Amino acid sequence: MKILIIDEMHESIMPMLQKEGHEVIYSPEITREEIINTVAEFDGLIIRSKTPMDRDLLERATNLKFIGRAGAGLDKIDLEYMAEKDIKLFHAAKGNRDAVAEHAVGMLLALFNNVGKADQEVRKGIWDREGNRGHELAGKTVGIMGYGNMGKSFVHRLQGFKVDILAYDKYKMDFGDDFVREVMWEKLKAEADVLSIHVPLTPETKDFFTLKELKSFAKPFWLINTARGEVISFKTLNEALDQGILRGALLDVLENEKFQKFTADQKAEFEKLAARDNVLFSPHVAGWTYESYEKINKVLAKRIKKAFKGS
């Protein structure tokens, strides 16, 4: 097949695909207009998130057999159109699930132990032991919202911490085991000390976490979001933190990740969040490690080979 790669990928992707006899065009600098003008030539596209795979583009991809998504999120892809045209979709959540899980645990431990705050203080000659007294994870109840690749991997990383783990997934059943209790959403809200979000961005999950929803948790809790920022707004986070509903927040994703395109309200609310010691940020890198960069390629190449074997 003739395959176009439109985003930056680990260099190993080329030989992996060429080994199977595919013609591969690596063009990470390509513009959307250039993709639209040339996409009809290709049997496959490999993407990250630069260009939305919307109907306008896909209608021009008259020979397209598959899209390979180097990552987990599918919110920029017109899945309905792809199903209509029988275009296969491969995504590589298995390639970065370990990275996401480790990042979530790392952020949680850093916040519990005031690592960022303490580091900055010591650099300035401030030796404040009491002000940096931490919390232990052991004995806490951790709730997982969404038990797919990311949620499950996070649970595996928590197994040595002597925590009680609850998981809720609206679309899965009978996944409980020795390490995780499958529960309904109301049960999770009644017991969680920590909530880690692992859901895709859909119309159902967008702005799901309103202030009313957060108030329905039985006790103050810490929030981890390595999924999609649009599930909770800056304003809601600030209100929940001000009211003591949230004890802290760990945010690898934001409702708007383009600082230069913040609205006036988003700018004001983000600046308020950024001034808090009990909020930690990272720039959407939870799944972005040196190892996952290559693992994603292996997952995609394997799935493409399996799907078209014998074609």
Q: Which residues carry out catalysis?
A: 228, 257, 284
Compute the distance between CA of residue 186 and CA of residue 3 in angstroms, rounded to an integer.
Answer: 46
Compute the distance between CA of residue 305 and CA of residue 285 in angstroms, rounded to an integer.
Answer: 28
How many CA atoms lie within 13 Å of 104's alpha carbon, on the beta-carbon side? Answer: 31
| Single-letter amino acid, residue 168 | Y
**How many Å separate Cα 299 from the centre of its chain?**
17
The full DSSP string for 86-109 is T-EEEE-HHHHHHHHHHHHHHHHH
Quick one: which H or E segment has residue 80?
helix 79-84
Enter the tokens of residue 2.
């003739």
Buried b (16+ CB within 10 A) or exposed e, 32-51: eeebeeebeebbbbbbbeeb
